[in-house]
Amino acid sequence: MAGLPPGDPQLVSMIVSHLKTQGLFDQFRRDCLADVDTKPAYLNLKQRVDNFVSNHLSNHTWSPHLNKNQLRNNIRQLVLQSGMLEQGVDRIVAQVVDPKVNHIFRPQVERVVREFLSPGSCSEEPPLPLTPAEIKTDSSVPEQRI
């Protein structure tokens, strides 16, 4: 590991595997999924897809001979071709993931990567990012009294 330069695909793969074994990706996914259904971008996309499917189905007459699987696959292809999912997912990511990247995800990833690259050297660091109150009372910065 020490012989691999930064950015080496093998090193990156090893770090990603380590992050996965630490459960960070699963934790990040749970954190984001817990918030997603309350965000306007998700609600808007859900409404748009529901309307699209309803409009498409209104043009079909139900019969016992209707091939539901074919109809379902046809609707799926039309939704994918419309581009609404890509746009909607980009908006969801902007509302759910982006606000967490710098303040929640990055500090945790950096801590685990530091521990991976030099085991035992980061044991005194807190497991989660510091809160604003903790940052103000950090003992490494001399406290000024008035």
Taking the domains of the chain in order of start, what are their residue ranges?
Answer: 9-117
Express as a percent the part of the chain with pLDDT over 90. 62
pLDDT in tens, 134-146: 434 344 444 433 3
What's the predicted TM-score (pTM) here?
0.63
In the chain, which ranges are continuous DSSP H helix? 9-21, 24-36, 40-58, 68-82, 84-96, 98-100, 106-117, 132-136
